[in-house]
Amino acid sequence: MIELYGISKQYQKPNWALDDITLHIEKGDFWFVTGPSGAGKTTLLQIIFREIIPTQGQIVIDGRNILKIPDHKIYQLRRTMGIVFQNFRLLFHKKVFDNVAVVLQILGIPQKEQRKKVLNALRMVNLHHKMWDFPSQLSYGEQQRVAIARAIVNNPKIILADEPTGNLDTELAIEIMSLFRAVNEQGSTVIICTHDRELIRNFGKKILFLYKGKLLRKEEL
């Protein structure tokens, strides 16, 4: 489903953020990507999402080379994905409902269907009772769940999450990971970047280890 061939990314010479990554991820997989800060985890997600372009290599998703997609058609790729950014990227001037609905609005989904999908996503993260609150009225963990609801609202084929449990206590982190597992069980391919070894021990069966931009090893437990 996701195929990377010789992917490298250089922001500034002589260092490589990613260095010759070749990787195949099957439909319905659940992968952790781990490694120390600066290992290239975020860059890898950004390339899959095509937020950035690799310096070298090719990436194929569902049989399509995404580097050949014109910029004005990137939305066709991204509407099949949900992404949870490390800093959430919530719209603080909009209420929770509208933050989750923004993806559907961009896609031109009818309002009646938007409401149904948003409610379903917010129920899944147990925030339907706060849909008319602003993000500033929520706790850090609740803001994180809004970001997850936004990512899953359109039932995407692929979920990408960058340190989704960062700064959360253990109980909340387990709750967030359980949400991703539930989404995965519904058929979405999930890729999560994290440095949390405890979470990986508890939830990880497929793990990619990055170090200084290189893929050190891949484990399937």
Helix (H, G, I), strand (E, B) or coil at 192: strand
**pLDDT for the residue numbered 13:** 87
Cβ 5 vs Cβ 47: under 8 Å: no
**Phi-psi label, residue 160: left if phi above 0, alpha if psi -120 to 50, beta otherwise:** beta
Q: Which domains does the chain have, with CATH numbers?
A: 2-220 (3.40.50.300)
Q: Is the peptide bond before 14 cis (omega within 30 degrees of 0)?
A: yes
Per-residue pLDDT tens digits for 115-124: 999 999 999 8
Q: What is the pLDDT along the chain (221 residues), one digit of tens a residue?
A: 899 999 999 998 898 999 999 999 999 999 999 999 899 999 999 999 999 999 999 999 999 999 999 999 998 898 899 999 888 889 999 999 999 999 899 888 899 999 999 999 999 889 999 999 999 999 988 998 999 999 999 989 999 999 988 777 888 888 888 889 999 999 999 999 998 888 888 888 899 999 999 999 888 87
Provide the residue type at 70 as one letter.
P
**pLDDT for the residue numbered 195:** 87
**pLDDT for the residue numbered 204:** 84
- How many whole angstroms separate alpha carbon 32 and alpha carbon 6? 20
Provide the residue type at 92 as one letter.
F
Residue 216: both structure tokens together: 């050190």
Predicted TM-score of the model (pTM): 0.92
